Amino acid sequence: FISEGIPLIIHLRCILVTVYRVMVKENLRVLLLLCIFELKLSFSPATQVEDTVNLVKRIEKTGIAAIAVHGRKKEERPQHPVHCDVIKAISEAVSIPVIANGGSHDFIKEYTDIETFQKATAASSVMIARAAMWNPSIFRKEGPFPLKEVMQDYIKYAVRYDNHYTNTKYCLCQMLREQLETAQGKKLHAAQSTQEICEAFEMSEFYEETTAVFEAKKTSLETKQQDEDDQMEDPDVIKMAVRFDKREYPPQITPKMYLLEWCRKEKHPQPVYETVQRPLDRLFCSVVTVADQKYRSALWDKSKKLAEQAAAIVCLRTLGVPEGKLCEGENHLINKRKREDQECLNNRDHGKDLAEPSHKKANFAEESSDMNVPKLQR
């Protein structure tokens, strides 16, 4: 839009792109693509307002649905007066809605000032940022609430919804503004937690009461969850608080493999794993049945595989059978695999089939369990 020959510098910044959709005859379709641009104006004394208006008209022809105009020059800052005359000239020259911005410092102190700024700029609507951040009750028709009351209410929301203290602190600093040099403002500036923010505003008692309620709710939920876990417990299931850590085992050797090998050696049916997922935290628990006895870990794991390995460990430890850990010394499964690998090499030397016999593969493959894990009913 801008060439070097035009003494008008426009800082064009796209601030919003929204797609509005409507239901038409039960079909969803795109109705309007709304692009709102914000113009920051910078012009030399010789520049006519019509140059600005002409540029906005050219932007309008691109098909945008509305335009927001921040009435200050590029080099100006919030403390400089807003150029209502330029915004008004733009509003009267185009057919699309013009949103006036930049009136927080000069105009908007309460709700009625919003309409005053709108009339001064002849805009279709007003965009408010800083004034709303300084006191959100600016939109109250009866007038804004006292700042102290607003800040205390904001802190209560921040505590109740566990807002991060850095965000809470920033918003409160924006509300205090020139009062940041007061004793309270300095305490707020030095605060490094939500609790310290509450202390700065003499709300320690509220913070302690609210956090106590949260802790009580947390304890209640944990107790309820434990009760639900206990209800699903089978009193005949043998439990231990164990987890599977693969770093404690040789590569490709697991407790499930040891348990399967032991069952075959003792002529028992292969282990059967039943795994469930807890909806609250999406953790898993598995029960393994060996020789009509059930075993499980008292701890819940983050995956189905880990839960099954933990159940196998409980079974092996209860039976007094080695589970294959590195600290147990010589590992007969590893030795067995080495012997079979050597047989494969010998077969290769004699030109025999390289494929392992299916019955030998079965000795080392963990029995796969059903991948569909049921969830506990709440």
Residue 66 β-bridge partners: 36
Q: What is the pLDDT of residues 86-100, one digit of tens each?
A: 999 999 999 999 999
CB-count burial class (<10 Å; 0-12, 13-18, 19+) for 156: middle
228 or 245, which is more confident? 245
Are 96 and 29 contained in the same domain?
A: yes
Are 59 and 166 contained in the same domain?
A: no
Are 345 and 285 contained in the same domain?
A: yes
**Cα separation values, 315 from 260, 289, 312, 337, Å:** 11, 9, 5, 23
Q: What is the pLDDT of residues 273-288, one digit of tens each?
A: 999 998 878 899 999 9
Whether the per-residue pLDDT at 171 is higher than 90: the answer is yes
If one counts the domains in the chain, the total is: 3
* H or E stretch covering 195: helix 194-200
Give buried/exposed letters for 287-325 (b at 16+ CB in 10 A, else e): bbbbeeebbbbeebbeebbbbbbbbbbbbbbebebbbbb
Are 125 and 174 contained in the same domain?
A: no
Closest to 99 (Cα-Cα) out of 76, 116, 83, 122:
122
Residue 222 belongs to some domain of the structure: no
Residue 46 belongs to some domain of the structure: yes
Residue 177 belongs to some domain of the structure: yes
Indicate the range of 74-83, 227-236, 362-371 predicted with least confidence: 362-371
Whether the Cβ atoms of residue 308 and residue 288 lie closer than 8 Å to each other: yes
Residue 70 belongs to some domain of the structure: yes
Domain that holds residue 184: 147-208
Residue 322 belongs to some domain of the structure: yes
Are 243 and 356 contained in the same domain?
A: yes
Are 277 and 336 contained in the same domain?
A: yes
Are 97 and 132 contained in the same domain?
A: yes
Are 292 and 247 contained in the same domain?
A: yes
Look at the pTM and tell me if it is higher than 0.95: no
* H or E stretch covering 24: strand 8-24
Q: The CATH number of the domain where 122 resides is what?
A: 3.20.20.70
Whether the per-residue pLDDT at 357 is higher than 90: the answer is no
Q: What is the pLDDT of residues 11-68, one digit of tens each?
A: 444 333 333 333 333 333 333 334 444 555 555 544 667 788 888 899 899 888 899 9
Are 182 and 198 contained in the same domain?
A: yes
What's the whole-number average pLDDT of the chain?
79
pLDDT bracket for residue 373 (50, 70, 90):
low
Q: The CATH number of the domain where 353 resides is what?
A: 3.30.160.20
Are 261 and 297 contained in the same domain?
A: yes
Question: Among residues 86, 117, 139, which one ends one of the domains?
Answer: 139
Are 244 and 196 contained in the same domain?
A: no
Question: Among residues 93, 113, 139, which one ends one of the domains?
Answer: 139
Are 52 and 113 contained in the same domain?
A: yes
Residue 74 belongs to some domain of the structure: yes
Whether the per-residue pLDDT at 10 is higher than 60: the answer is no
